[in-house]
């Protein structure tokens, strides 16, 4: 994509949703950090369901450590990989108390030094809690960037590096939210909803998904055509198996 096309891509996503943000619910940077750690390989909705009652009681690393691993495991048992995640959340809470005075650090290096915190989690926290212009590349962002040709790359690191390079102001801060939401609700994994996509003319993906009514009409036409051809085959088969006139159907007589 050209620079003008990239600008237009984000301008349209921004026009459709001027104030995007994460769908993970949290009340402070610590809760956001915990929610993002819990969201690995899980949906934001499932994390919110588990965290709503948890975050009523637990607002600080100190409260989490006092809560303990067993109770935490029980509180998040509806989320995938809850055993490992409970361990990590207790360990990272203890690390925040021991090394950062109970506060969430503001640098990538410090965040990534915490148990269970990788580059993507650090990027989300830096962006959403502290307003940094970071580009967290999750499965949705990776797919949208590759499909559309916005920032193609073989790995999440490659896509992140491309986004760093090409996303213009004033879209840098919210770019990853727009891309996540676009991937989650429009450019879906199994069937991108191209017919209602605001960047359809900028995207290089082919073939574009047509509107549902057009797909329905096509599949009805295909079904009718296949029914007609199967009827024709059956009729042909009947004709072929009919005995030719004048030919005897009796068994050959035995030889003397
Ligand atoms: S046109 Fe289709 S493939 Fe391209 S970004 Fe939009 S939804 Fe995704």
Which residues, in sequence order, are CB contacts of 22 under 8 Å at separation 6+?
32, 44, 124, 128, 177
Ligand 1 lined by 126 (C-beta under 6 Å): no
Distance 13 CA to ligand 1 centre (A): 12
Burial string for 60-88 (b: 16+ CB within 10 Å, else e) reads bbeebbebeeeebbebbeebeebeebbeb
Whether 120 is a known active-site residue: answer yes
pLDDT, position 239? 65
pLDDT at 256: 38
- Contacts with 10 (C-beta within 8 Å, 6 or more apart), sequence order: 167, 168, 171, 175, 178
Please identify which residue in the block is written with the tokens 């450590």.
65
pLDDT tier at 3 (50, 70, 90 boundaries)?
A: very high
Q: What is the mean pLDDT of residues 65-71?
A: 96
d(CA 253, CA 236): 32
**Residue 177 in tokens:** 């939210």
Q: What's the pLDDT score for residue 246?
A: 46
- Tell whether the model's pLDDT for residue 140 goes beyond 70: yes
Mutate to test the pocket of ligand 1, among 6, 9, 10, 147 (most ligand atoms within 8 A of CB): 147
Q: What is the C-alpha separation between 193 and 233, in angstroms, rounded?
A: 37
pLDDT at 119: 94
Residue 138 has pLDDT above 80, yes or no: yes
pLDDT value at 74 more than 80: yes
Write out pLDDT tens, residues 202-241. Answer: 999 999 999 998 888 888 888 888 777 777 777 777 666 5
Q: What percent of the chain has pLDDT over 90?
A: 79
In angstroms, the CA 82 to CA 70 distance is 11
Return the pLDDT at 255: 44
> What pLDDT, on the 0 to 100 scale, is given for residue 240?
62
| Three-state DSSP class for residue 255 | coil
Q: Which of 186, 189, 202, 204 to mutate to test the pocket of ligand 1 (most atoms within 8 A of CB)?
A: 186
Does the beta carbon of 204 sit less than 6 angstroms from any atom of ligand 1? Answer: no
CA of 16 to the centre of ligand 1 (A): 15
Phi-psi region of 102 (alpha: psi -120 to 50; beta: other; left: phi over 0): left
Q: What is the pTM of this model?
A: 0.81
The number of angstroms, rounded, from the C-alpha of 146 to the middle of its chain's C-alpha atoms is 13
* Ligand 1 atom nearest to CA at 198: 6
> pLDDT at residue 187 above 90?
yes
Q: Which of 138, 201, 236, 244 is catalytic?
A: 138
- Count CB neighbours of 237 within 10 A: 9
Tell me the pLDDT band of 243, cut-offs 50, 70 and 90. Answer: low
Predicted local distance difference test score (pLDDT) of residue 227: 79
Residue 194 CB less than 6 A away from ligand 1: yes
Average pLDDT over residues 60-78: 96
Q: Which of 118, 186, 179 is nearest to 151 (CA)?
A: 179
Pocket residue to mutate for ligand 1, from 149, 179, 205, most atoms within 8 A of Cβ? 205
Between the CA of 22 and the centroid of ligand 1 the distance, in Å, is: 21
User: Within a 13 Å sphere around the CA of 199, how many CA atoms are in the beta-carbon half?
Assistant: 31
**How far separated are the first and last CA of the chain, in Å rounded?**
89
Q: Which ligand 1 atom is nearest residue 204's CA?
A: 4
Q: How many angstroms does the Cα of residue 175 sit away from the middle of ligand 1?
A: 16
208 lines ligand 1 (CB under 6 A): yes
């Amino acid at each position: 994509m050209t620079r003008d096309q990239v600008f237009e891509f984000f301008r349209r996503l921004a026009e459709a949703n001027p104030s995007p943000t994460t769908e993970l619910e949290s009340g402070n940077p610590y809760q956001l950090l915990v929610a993002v750690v819990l969201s690995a390989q899980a949906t934001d909705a499932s994390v919110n369901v588990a965290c709503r009652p948890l975050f009523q009681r637990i607002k600080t690393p100190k409260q989490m450590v006092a809560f303990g691993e067993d109770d935490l495991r029980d509180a998040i048992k509806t989320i995938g990989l809850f055993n490992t995640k409970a361990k990590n959340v207790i360990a990272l809470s203890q690390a925040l108390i021991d090394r950062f005075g109970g506060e969430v650090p503001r640098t990538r290096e410090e965040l990534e030094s915490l148990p269970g915190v990788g580059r993507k989690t650090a990027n989300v926290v830096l962006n959403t809690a502290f307003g940094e212009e970071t580009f967290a590349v999750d499965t949705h962002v990776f797919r949208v960037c590759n499909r559309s040709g916005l920032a193609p790359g073989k790995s999440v690191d490659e896509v992140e590096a491309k986004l760093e390079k090409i996303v213009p102001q004033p879209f840098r801060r919210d770019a990853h939210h727009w891309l996540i939401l676009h991937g989650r609700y429009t450019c879906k994994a199994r069937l991108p909803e191209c017919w209602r996509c605001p960047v359809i003319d900028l995207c290089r993906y082919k073939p574009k998904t047509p509107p549902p009514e057009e797909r329905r009409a096509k599949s009805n036409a295909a079904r009718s055509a296949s029914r007609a051809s199967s009827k024709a085959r059956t009729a042909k088969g009947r004709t072929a198996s009919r005995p030719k006139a004048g030919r005897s159907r009796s068994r050959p007589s035995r030889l003397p």
